[in-house]
Copies of this chain bind each other. A is one copy, B any other.
């Protein structure tokens, strides 16, 4: 039952009864009787309520940093770590934002943020066409940020940042521990064994993680900006929490989702994210270059043996959208055309590898699609404009269409060559729920990668000291194993 309220008159207009039918029922059929919960069962996730309790065989794993962290934080916002330097801020809409990113004194980005996310649902029955969250524009990621606790959301030595937000009465309020900062080991960074000498050199990859977590009613999202020692930046999302669901009659199945517990229909939906990347590659005058790798038919002149492929580069001259195209290995290079790499002669730059994921499926004429123009292409290139921060527009709550989002920004037709550009990276997950997503879904992880391409004059992590961790321990080999050389 959904009461529909006229907020001005303070009157209930009507009460919508939700359909609970299955595959063979009509679209608008209200098939349920009075006892619609009788076939449902409980589904607990809180440890003390689990019928079998928690598993007992997981041993402790600690991350210890006996000499403290490798990072330094000043002014509660300036972070310095492994040649990186940037500032962290926090606001009610975007959550954690990264500013003025430099590596080894050179500018890389002016501002990195999570701009918007929309979650449209695909159940054709009314009123489910209305189920479409804009988590950043409607709820405010900063408003919904978790207050993080030591030992729960990260391991090791952790720096927490507080924020000040406005409470319901309009007063300032400290929102404690909304961002955490810590280092992680990410496996092997680079390795080479010289086969002539047998000498192996191996480094481990250490990354610095700026993380915040939001709860939007049922769902959780973990966002992380990850900086590595090779000059790379990953922006990561993890989707977790509880899938949104509705009641379904006993024994029925549905074209609109999956039955994940008796009586529980988890509806099919998408999550489409937009990251805003405001680059500053050695300054603000930047250009986006589309680079593709094309097959070339065998021919005597340029490809006599058929093994050649052609790398094509095309600058984005005017504000535009583009889609991922893995068949062409399409990557987007953000370069400074005024500064050439002294080794290769190419413009210094960073590349964005757009995740090739499904875009918005709703019909272009639908309200869902009209509200989320941004969700219909993978990459948008715009010219910087003050306050233009939100891919889906500033006002998304109960909107009918996207206003002043990236589509409008592109429509201005600004020049984007050798100027202050902004790149918006859109990707998503089509989430047709599994039974395994119930009652709380395991994290589904997606990342956007930014990588230096001819920005540096060599691998910037070549000076990371080789790994020889003294604290690691070997499990003894069993007695029955042949001893080395004794076979």
Contact = CB atoms under 8 A, between A and B. Distances in A.
A164 to B, nearest CB: 6
A443 B205 contact: yes
A345 B250 CA distance: 12
A160 B474 contact: yes
B241 A192 contact: yes
A385 interface: no
A260 B469 contact: no
Interface string A208-233: 00000101010010100000101110
Contact of A65 (B59, B158, B486, B487): B59
A47 B458 contact: no
Please list the 8 inter-chain residue pairs (A to B) with the smallest Cβ-Cβ separation, ordered nearest first.
A306-B366, A306-B363, A129-B305, A62-B471, A151-B469, A124-B308, A230-B442, A309-B361
A14 interface: no
A227 to B, nearest CB: 13
Nearest to A351: B434
B43 A458 contact: yes
A363 B298 contact: yes
Contacts of A259: 343-345
A473 interface: yes
B192 A129 contact: no
A25 interface: no
A46 interface: yes
A195 B145 CA distance: 12
Contacts of A121: 307
A487 to B, nearest CB: 5
A436 B459 contact: yes
A24 interface: no
A469 B441 CA distance: 22
Contacts of A362: 295, 306-307, 309
A454 B436 CA distance: 6
B430 A54 contact: no
A438 B343 CA distance: 11
Interface in A343-367: 343-346, 356-359, 361-363, 365-367
B253 A345 contact: yes
Given A176-B484, A487-B164, A195 B220 contact: no
A126 interface: yes
A201 B472 contact: no
A435 B458 contact: yes
Contact of A59 (B68, B464, B473): B68
A124 B64 contact: no
A151 to B, nearest CB: 4
A242 interface: yes
Given A27-B302, A306-B365, 19 more contacts: A45-B201, A58-B70, A62-B471, A63-B185, A63-B471, A123-B307, A129-B307, A153-B188, A155-B469, A164-B482, A190-B240, A256-B308, A259-B343, A268-B311, A306-B362, A327-B358, A329-B430, A434-B451, A436-B452
